[in-house]
Structure 1
Amino acid sequence: MELVFNDTKKARLDNFASENLEDFTRSQIQKFIKDENILVNGETATKAGMKLKHGDKITLVIPEEKPMKAVPQDIPLDVIYEDEDVLVVNKPQGMVVHPAAGHRDGTLVNAILYHSKINDDDMVRPGIVHRIDKDTSGLLMVAKNDLAKRSLMKQLKEKTNLREYVAIVHGGFEESKGKINAPLGRSKYDRKKQAVVDDGRNAVTHFEVLEQFENYSLLKLKLETGRTHQIRVHMQYIGHPVAGDPLYGPKNTLEGNGQFLHAKTLGFEHPRTHEWMQFSVEPPKIFLDTLKELRG
């Protein structure tokens, strides 16, 4: 995590870090400094009261936590397809994909482990080859063994699989379709966010306008790459943030359970048979009900 001190007046390191790293308390920041986990311009900071000057770069190196182990939990799972190699599930809005700090259980992985036998050395994310955000609903493919994992990850890397979303976004469009090619990386101003940055990773999203309403539009979006928050950031970047998005959208938006974004269609080559597999699921009820209201 990196911050840049842009104030013209000097400030204490611990004060600035506490104000801008909201997930950590002042005492935690001071402990990070004591444990030499905070750098200023690449050098270890040794004093909490160190004075910062304009342009200083502050880097927080969080110590790695001991690895977690995901455990099976009896959680309802919407299985769209399953065989000995792959599992395709429809993830509901509000469910985290795999355990992490703050979400150590109750995740899609916990549900998958209860439902299916997954042979994977990854104890935290067994079978997971791609993710969708907590408040994004829709299709995920899961690898049940090493053969499937290698194949599905290779397809993701080579962009030979299919991932299509539908989204309700703010504003209207003059064009019927378009392509967003803008590199993404960690925001320099808010570490919780991704942003379009010059030195970011290549990110490409294709969109097609399906319907237009007063103040909103329904889009079909196709991922060419799969960066964190890619669709949400790209749509904000072109001035059409996803409706309901609490992180990248405006406060005045459609009421829902988070962003109106749904992974509707998923296609891939079967790892063993090499047959093309393609699945589609409708968005959740709140998405469909909102569409009805917009059409009305």
Structure 2
Amino acid sequence: MEQKTWQSTPADEGVRLDVYVARMLSVSRTYAQDLIKKGLVRVQDNMGKANCRLEDGQCITVSFSPPAVLSAEPENIPLHILYEDAHIIVVNKARGMVVHPAPGNPSGTLVNALLYHCGGELSGINGVIRPGIVHRLDKDTSGVMVVAKTDPAHRGLAAQIKAHTAHRTYWALVHGNIAEERGTIEAPIGRHPKDRIKMAVTFKGGREATTHFHVLQRYGEYTWLACRLETGRTHQIRVHLAYIRHPVVNDPVYGYKRDDFPIQGQVLHSRCLDFVHPVTGEPMHVEAPPAADFSACLERIRTHS
């Protein structure tokens, strides 16, 4: 059992104890609440309560078990492969699939499937948990992803993403009728100041983030967009669209209450990826057809508009 101790600052005044613990340990709020329920969180030597509000200068002590060491094993999981050669593999990631093992998702991930399909031949730059992973998609975002089989391919792809020369375009169904035909959202993104598991537009400590969008179709109370990432911050499209008051439909974190749409999670799909092959130099354009659930959402609003 490990133990960590902090002293609250004026900036922490009024913050709930469970929110504070989640932020300081970089864990979910649910995990923090579980620690508190088990009596493992103390404030000024008193048993903590999840909803208690912190004051300046208080001593918070947390006891917790260190996370188990994760490993990634090959698993025979079907993959939708869009392109493959000796250097890279491009897949259409299924909605609901986690990209790599993490606490709470130790198996059944895209990495497990890739290790089986590629016989373990993936770039080792990102270690044993994220072999070959150059960029990621959220669990409930489907669509195109490129993965590196070799270290030189990994370095080449990573350089293109860093230089913003690899272009990722997403389809999103959002709330509201966006007036402009096209636009650009430029707003820095960082950790939410009060909820560690969320991201937010923040002009204090946020990192530069740019999203371009154009309208594909309007459906009264909803708009179908194509969004192109210039930068690649965590949850960027979801945060930016919520920031301009057009959140992605069914987004459980940044959206409105759940609508009656035939889909699990946000209506967001990584539609296409444009990049230069990191070994051959050939221009590549790869498209991922949307899954049936995304198409069903569009059909629903066409029918009800």
1-structure distance, mates of 2:158, 2:268: 23
3-state DSSP of counterpart to 1:23: helix
Change in CA separation of 1:124 and 1:216 when aligned onto 2, cut-off 3 Å? same
In 2, the alpha carbon distance for the partners of 1:136 and 1:14 equals 28
Determine the C-alpha separation between the residues in 2 that align with 1:158 and 1:236. Answer: 26
Amino acid at match of 2:55: K
Is the 8 Å Cα contact of residues 78 and 90 (structure 1) preserved in structure 2?
A: yes
1:41 equivalent in structure 2:
none
Asked if 2 retains the 8 angstrom alpha-carbon contact of 1:243 and 1:254, the reply is no
Q: Which runs of 5+ in 1 are unaligned?
A: 34-44
Match of 2:254 in 1: 248
Structure 2 unaligned regions, length at least 5: 1-5, 23-27
Structure 2 counterpart SS, 1:267: strand
User: Over residues 170-200 of structure 1, what are the superposed CA-to-partner deviations in whole Å (9 max), with x where a residue is unaligned?
Assistant: 0001110110011111111212210011121
Q: Which residue of 2 aligns with 1:23?
A: 31
Aligned to 2:175: 170
Q: 1:134 aligns to what?
A: 139
CA distance in 2, matches of 1:189, 1:280: 38
After superposition, residues 69-84 of structure 1 pair within 5 angstroms as 69-84=71-86
User: 1-side partners of 2:183 and 2:142: how far apart?
Assistant: 23
1:126-205 map, 5 Å: 126-198=131-203, 199-205=205-211
1:220 maps to 2:232: no
Change (3 A) 1:270 1:189: same
Post-superposition Cα deviations, 1:202-252, rounded to whole Å, max 9, x if no partner, equal: 111001011000210000000001111000000000000000111111115
Determine if the alignment matches structure 1 residue 92 to structure 2 residue 94: yes
Contact kept in structure 1, 2:41 and 2:47, CA below 8 Å: no
Structure 2 counterpart SS, 1:266: strand
How many pairs were matched up?
Answer: 281
SS in structure 2 opposite 1:247? coil
Given the superposition, is the C-alpha separation of residues 287 and 52 from structure 1 closer, same or farther in structure 2, using an over 3 Å criterion?
closer
Per-residue deviation, 1:294: 1.6
TM-score normalised by the chain length of structure 2: 0.83
The answer to whether the 8 A contact 2:67-2:103 is kept is no
Q: Which amino acid aligns with 2:45?
A: K
Note the 1:224-235 alignment, pairs <5 A: 224-235=230-241
Identity of aligned residues (%): 44
Q: Show CA shifts across 1:50-107 (max 9, x none).
A: 9942597979898864542210000000111000100000001000000000000000
CA deviation digits over 1:22-46, x for unaligned, max 9? 323245885466xxxxxxxxxxx87
Greater alpha carbon shift after TM alignment, 190-199 vs 124-133: 190-199
User: Which of 251, 273, 287 does residue 280 from structure 1 map onto?
Assistant: 287
* Whole-Å separation in 2 of the counterparts to 1:187 and 1:119: 32
- 2:255 is matched by which residue type in structure 1? G
- For the residue of structure 1 that corresponds to 2:170, the secondary structure is strand
Q: Partner of 2:113: helix, strand, or coil?
A: helix
1:118 corresponds to: 122
**In structure 2, how many angstroms separate the alpha carbons of the residues matched to 1:132 and 1:215?**
27
SS in 1 for 2:75: coil
Residues in 1 aligned to 2:255 and 2:30: alpha-carbon distance in whole angstroms: 20
Q: Partner of 1:42 in structure 2?
A: none
Task: Work out whether residues 183 and 203 of structure 1, in 8 Å CA contact, stay in contact via their aligned partners in 2.
Answer: yes
Residue aligned with 1:273, SS: coil
What secondary structure sits across from 1:111 in the alignment? helix
Give the direction of change, closer, same or farther, for the CA distance of 1:15–1:221 in structure 2 (3 Å limit). Answer: closer
| In 2, Cα distance between equivalents of 1:59 and 1:210 | 52
